[in-house]
Structure 1
Amino acid sequence: MSRRGHRAGLPPADHRTESPLGPDGLTVTVVNKTGYAREFDFSELPVPEPLQRSLARLYAARSMAWTSHETAKTCWSRLMVFATFLSELDNTPEDLDGVTVAVLKRWRARHVSTVTGKAVLSTVRLLLQQAPQFAGGPVTEELLRRFPAAKPSKQSYEDDERKRVVLAAQRQFRAAWLRIEENTRLLRAWRAGELEEDSRGGRLGEVLDHLARTGDVPRTILPSGQPHVDHRSLLGGAGTEQTWGRLFLSRMELTALAVLLTDQFAWNLKIYDRMPAPTTGPSVGEKTSITYQVQVEKHRAGRGRWFSTENITDSGAASPGRLITQALEVTAHGRDLAARLVPGTDLLMVARLYAPAKEAHRHQNTERPRPVGPLSFGIAYNDADRWQRAHDLGGSPFQRVRRTTVTRGGQPRQHSQSTNERVYVLPDENVQRASRSVFADAAEEALEQAEAAVFGGHLTGAPDPAHEQTVTADCEDESASPWPAPEGGCGADFMLCLACKNAYVHPGHHPRLALLQQQLESLRSVLDDGTWDRRWQGHLLRLEDLRDKIGAAAWGAALARAGSDDRALVHLLLKGDLAP
């Protein structure tokens, strides 16, 4: 169905989806979501040709659902590991029908002990399960064998580690924001005609206008072919911060911004490659704050659920939305220039390339947007690596910063509740250490409750005529109740009789109380935990304590003696129809 509810039209009768498998049966072409094609040659696998062709067919069938070259490369590299393993066997299989249970057991044993190995096993296993040769039998059973889930290799930061990373990013980004803000004010004043043309500010404003329109300050090409910065004395030098850095972020400064955004919102690194510039949402009667609508891509969520919108409000310096406001300010000139060079371009994370021609030529990543003029978009893995080395952090911070924000926030971010618990919370060592005291406190509280919820009365062998009968026990003196009623006497629920020191239980009560315990246990399966705990848990604990005092055998025999009167009274008691 289309968005408007109309049934989608069928393709022409002669329409055929082009197969990714080449005519030679050995090459597979994968087209990513941006339209780039990449070819994978299975003749490079170090196995016999029939096996190469079989693996190529399986790979081609699975690639029909892929929109990412990184996914394709990952699967290809893991297939290469499998093919290399087969080639090292004494008898390399000619085709898939030569892959035996013994071979798969040996393959499993080699990889199951490491995180990377488990990833390789998982990918190859899913691929081989599609093979018609493995439609049943012992080999199929071996492929279906489960293996322990891999423990995440990345852990959240300790407090001091996180502070060090965030402080490094804050210092670098704030310096860039102040620099660009100062030059933007000067450029606006020049464009508004507020600066004298021959003044230093006027001449600098003219240079900034050229920079905003072209992405660089005026330069002259020397006879040697080297570019020379004009107005060097006016600019104060020929370095990045004195020239194009006055209005544009460098790639390292953009990476610092991404670290801060990840720390604030737990966004995935890949989100930054194609994140549109946030828009402002409607604000009813609100003049002191701005609410941004940020489109977040969640590609692993599956088709139809790739994008979601987060509303983030800037209501002051300490609010989450203030970082969004600053990000829009420092990238404004880059986004304006990109939109002029390629109309329709409006990506938030834009930086200026150091050497535009050289770096654009080196751009090989078909998953990320291609550079536009002197501008690039998003954060590459080598940007993250360069940034961490520049700040001596011992590893890219993005995964660990994201994990830290997710685990300490207590709420799922761009993933499901089950993923949040299984992947982020439960395996995290910092969460495990912090939760030990919580578990200990809970255990002590449970023990206190269990000790408090015990039978508080007396056991007797026969009824006393002087005692007053109740539904659950005989009462020695209701005027001395721990729960007196305003009008006098006892105001407690009949269930609380078992907690009272005035209660006496004799064998005539045992059948009814044993039946009551049984019914409470049955009731537990149909109530939510909160309701059960508040209403019935203490009463069941007292009954269990009473059972232990009487003895399990006698208690079981008493249950067998419960009659219709006992069942009727227990039913009314649980419904709350019996008043004390």
Structure 2
Amino acid sequence: MVTSLEDLPSGLGDLLKSPDGDLPLFRSPVGVYQLLLDLTALSRRHGDHVLALSGFNPRRTRPKDRWPQGVRASYIGKWAVKHGFPTGETVDGGPPPVEARRIRQTGIEHSRRPVAQTRRSMNDYYLKRSPAVQRESRTVVGDALRAEVAKARARRQIPVITASLVDKARRDLDAAAEEAGLPADVLQQMVNGELDTAATACSDHLAGPETEPGQPCTASFLACLDCENARALPHQLPVQVALHDRLAALRPHMDLAVWRVRFERSLAQLAELIGHYNAADQERTRSQLTPPATADDRRPRRRKA
């Protein structure tokens, strides 16, 4: 069997080399396979073989045994011993062991295609235990999670119409509308507070994400924080601050898992909107809010006789 250039017939190894000493036929699997077919053509013809790997063993006594074909696991061990590779445990500082399982594992890791096994076995046995595949999987999963987080953050960023743009709309409505990317009449209604929902304004209440086109939107006002039709204006800051603080105040009084499902995302979205204003504006807004009503405030009072 041919296992290296030293095993080739005299002079054939030199013919395979290029002038710079490279082995052009060994640059690709196709080149190696073609070379294998050429080298074993004679033995395949004499042994009437169909496999690519074929050879001649003069030590065999029976003529039909002198032309073996195929590869056995023991051949790899013999090749490893002959070329100075261990077949068992790795010796410190020495070359890595060469064995059929390692070659099979490496081949499957590179090709990601099942070889004489089901795809499930390939995934659960060969790829799952591979440190290289595990590192690659962590990278792929991490990239996917970061991409989803980026999408979520981009989605909750409601466009904020600043105070300067509101002042510009009062002076030059068309120019301000072009800057805001809205029709002039819609921007005018937003500035006037005519399109307010609760914490935001809606550019088109007939194009809600949960209703048929042309029908009035029936979604919760918290869903506005996820809607592409939503816009935030300065006069809505008090409502946004009050809603943010009330959602935060609910957290210790609810089951944490329930609170997270219902309100955690909305709280983060409101914090994003409030963050567009400086600390002084936020504190001034909070100082102007009416304290929430208590149970005593809501209890009807008796009239004096």
- Rg larger in 1 or in 2? 2
TM-score of the pair, normalised by structure 1? 0.21
| Higher normalized strand content (fraction of residues) | 1
TM-score of the pair, normalised by structure 2? 0.37
